[in-house]
Structure 1
Amino acid sequence: MPAHRPRAAIPTRPEPSPGAHAPQPPAGIPPRPHVPPARPDTGAEPPVAPAETTTRLRPIAAPLPPEAPPRPAVAPAGRRPVGSVDLTPPAPGTRPPHPGPAAYSWVPPETPAEMTTRLRPVRTRRPARTLGALACVVLGLGLIGGAATGSWLTGDSSADPTARTGYTETRTLWHSVPVDTLFPRTLRGEGAGPGGADRIWTRIAVAPDGPCAPALDPLLLKTLQPVGCVRVLRATYTDATASSVTTVGMIFTEADAEAMGTLNSRFTTQGLDERPDLMPRTLPAKGTVAAGFGDRQRASWSLTVLTEMPVVVYAVSGFADGRTVTDPQPAAEAKADGATSAPAQAGLGHEALGIADRIEGGLRKSVRTATEKPE
């Protein structure tokens, strides 16, 4: 087998260097800049530069204190102060100096709106003032308790708004008490006559309760207007000899204690109970000795304003034979010693006051019974 001969190497053709056969530009034209060959497309996307997420700070000039103006910077020879602007034009053929980086100042972020509620300042407590207030409270409670205890011990019920008094009971007493209690059939007056003689009066007529206008004189009704007239109750009596007749009445008002006290003072100081033009009217009764007892037969009268109840009690007397009286006289004057008038000689002043006192006493007794506390 012949020996293997090595194969002679085939000479390779040298590759021409880049630009060896490239056309040369004519003289005087600068060569084209070298452009690197494009990289082969490998299918991979080129890396993407990360996006800037931070906020760039805007240049803010550093604030200066308001109280001290800024001093001009003094720079050594040949140097400019930092932050100053050189207004000298550059020399011909030289480039202007590149401006330095802008100065940045850090600005704190805006303070968020305050969402909490501010607490109001609490005043400093003063022990002395607090102790004084407590002492006043204790003293007030002691006074109230003492007053209540005193009222309970003395039986005073004025502090109780629901307590029964002469005013609260009398307002309804006129239609709840029997007529024989208000106007008894017989009245006895021991020592009520002239010279202290005893008297006995008999009831001969009773009028149903009625309004004030028909029973009272217009001027008297006007005088009682401040207390408000509600109802009038009337009855007529005669003495044992049937020689005199007397009409007695009770005027119920709607006033309180203060108003009745004012009215009583007015009657006393102004003498209204002695004026003939304020004399009460009579109650005649047909078929009796008082059949002819009218306004012209009035001889003496009595008029009393009570202060413990809203009532005015009156009485007017005259002759039973129906004679006319031209000079009527108040009961207090007709009872006076030495009085010589016709009403005084007939004892008509005693008749009016005696009957009025008995009717007033019976009314007080009825009110007292109605207001007594049950045991």
Structure 2
Amino acid sequence: MARRASGRVVAAVACLVLGTGLLGGAAAGAWLTGGEERAARTAFDNARELWRDMPVDELFPTEIDGAGVGPGGADRRWIRVAVAPDGACADGLDPLLAEVLSGVGCHRLVRATYTDETQTTVTTVGLLFAEADSAGMDTLARRFADEELAGRTDLLPRTFAAPGTAADDFGDAQRASWSVRVLTELPVVVYAVSGFADGRAISDPEPAAEATADGQDSTIALAGLGHDAAGIADRIEAGLREAAESRTQEAR
């Protein structure tokens, strides 16, 4: 009887230890998972301040190489002609686009204008740093995709003209092609809008996705204005992502 009772005690203790271990392991796993989620939220929030933390020449390089990104795989190179003072979103967005983006808030807007090396085309690129969290950016990105908002001509970004440069006459009427992207890994909306440097008005602008498609033979497509908008946006976005990742690594 004593041996059986002793066996039952040992078994009970073993179960208790095992159960405690399992609970402890689950708690540790939850703590680690929670730590990873907190780190991800912190990195996301920190990216909101990249407009201030990054040197302007890192955020908007003085020159951008676009090897093979022009029409027919031609090389492009863009030269920065001006950087706008950081400001409110209303400075760089048509009212309807500002309304669409209002759901993620506007923490800061920064812009720069580039010209190609022949000074034939000009492109303004902008970075809207949003106030929204990751879920908010996901919601806006889904809306852009579901409603095909990136291709609507009533949702064009505004240009940033630079007096005394190739972009002197780059205004609303000169907008020819554009790209608007809602990022989800960063609280940022990236956009670019391009036009001709000679100031000609454009009556029928084309989204970059359309102007860069195979077989397009419109003046906008053949001039590479869609390639300018998409190519510059690509490279500015890539630099922003690289900077965000680098700062995340440094914080670990």
Q: State the SS of the aligned residue for 2:91.
A: coil
Structure 2: distance between partners of 1:175 and 1:260: 21
Correspondent of 1:370 among 216, 241, 247: 247
> 2:179 and 2:35 mapped to 1: Cα distance?
33
**1:86 alignment counterpart:** none
Q: In the alignment, what sits opposite 1:158?
A: 36
Residue aligning to 1:323: 200
Residues 1:351 and 1:311: Cα distance change in structure 2 (over 3 Å):
same
Out of 185, 188, 201, the residue aligned to residue 62 of structure 2 is 185
Structure 2 contact 108–128 (Cα < 8 Å) conserved: yes
Count of aligned residue pairs for this structure pair: 242
Give 5+ residue unaligned stretches, structure 1.
1-126
Match of 1:141 among 5, 24, 36: 24
Work out which of the residue numbers 217, 220, 228 in structure 1 matches 2:97: 220
Query: Secondary structure in 2 aligned to 1:210?
Result: coil
CA distance in 1, matches of 2:250, 2:59: 22
1:158 deviation in Å?
2.0
Deviations 1:17-52 (A, max 9, x none): xxxxxxxxxxxxxxxxxxxxxxxxxxxxxxxxxxxx
Write 1 or 2 for the structure with the bigger share of helix: 2
Aligned counterpart for 1:231 among listed residues 105, 108, 111: 108
SS of the residue 1:293 aligns to: coil
1:263 matched to 2:132? The reply is no
Which residue identity lines up with residue 178 of structure 1 in the other structure? Answer: P
Q: Secondary structure of the residue that 2:52 maps to in structure 1?
A: coil
Distance in 1 between residues matched to 2:227 and 2:39, nearest whole Å: 41
Corresponding residue for residue 200 of structure 1: 77
Alignment of 1:311 with 2:194, yes or no, is: no
Deviates most, 275-284 or 209-218: 209-218
* Identity across matched positions, percent: 55
Q: Distance in 2 between matches of 1:212 and 1:146?
A: 42
Offset from partner CA, 1:69-111 (integer Å, 9 cap, x none)? xxxxxxxxxxxxxxxxxxxxxxxxxxxxxxxxxxxxxxxxxxx
Once the two structures are TM-superposed, the CA of residue 143 in structure 1 deviates from its matched residue by 1.4
Is the Cα contact below 8 Å between 2:71 and 2:222 reproduced in 1? no
TM-score between both structures, scaled by the size of structure 1: 0.60
Tell me by how many angstroms 1:166 deviates: 3.5
Counterpart CA distance in 2 for 1:262 and 1:211 is 22
Q: How far is 1:175 from its partner?
A: 1.1
- Contact kept, 8 Å, 1:166 with 1:308, in 2: the verdict is no
Question: Displacement of 1:213 after TM fit?
Answer: 1.3
Matches within 5 A, 1:1-375: 138-146=21-29, 158-159=36-37, 161=38, 165-373=42-250
Give unmatched runs, 5+ long, in structure 2: 1-8
Look at both structures and tell me which one has the larger radius of gyration over its CA atoms.
Answer: 1
Q: Structure 2: which amino acid aligns with 1:262?
A: T
Deviations 1:210-248 (A, max 9, x none): 111122111111101111111110000000111000000
Residue matched to 1:45: none
CA drift of 1:163 comes to 6.6
Q: Quick one: structure 1 residues 277 and 369, their matched pair in 2 at CA, closer, same or farther if it must change by over 3 Å?
A: same
- 1:365 Cα deviation after fit: 1.0
For 1:236 and 1:291, locate their aligned partners in 2 and report how far apart those are by CA, in whole Å: 11
Change (3 A) 1:308 1:191: same
The code of the aligned residue for 1:367 comes to A
More RCO (CA 8 Å, sep 6+): 2
- Indicate how the Cα distance of structure 1 residues 163 and 193 shifts in structure 2: closer, same or farther if over 3 A, else same: closer
Q: Secondary structure at the match of 1:292?
A: coil
Please tell me whether the aligned partners of residues 201 and 240 of structure 1 are also in contact (alpha carbons under 8 angstroms).
yes
Q: Which amino acid aligns with 2:124?
A: T
Residue 23 of structure 2 aligns to a residue whose secondary structure is helix
Q: 1:139, 1:345 → 2: CA distance?
A: 65
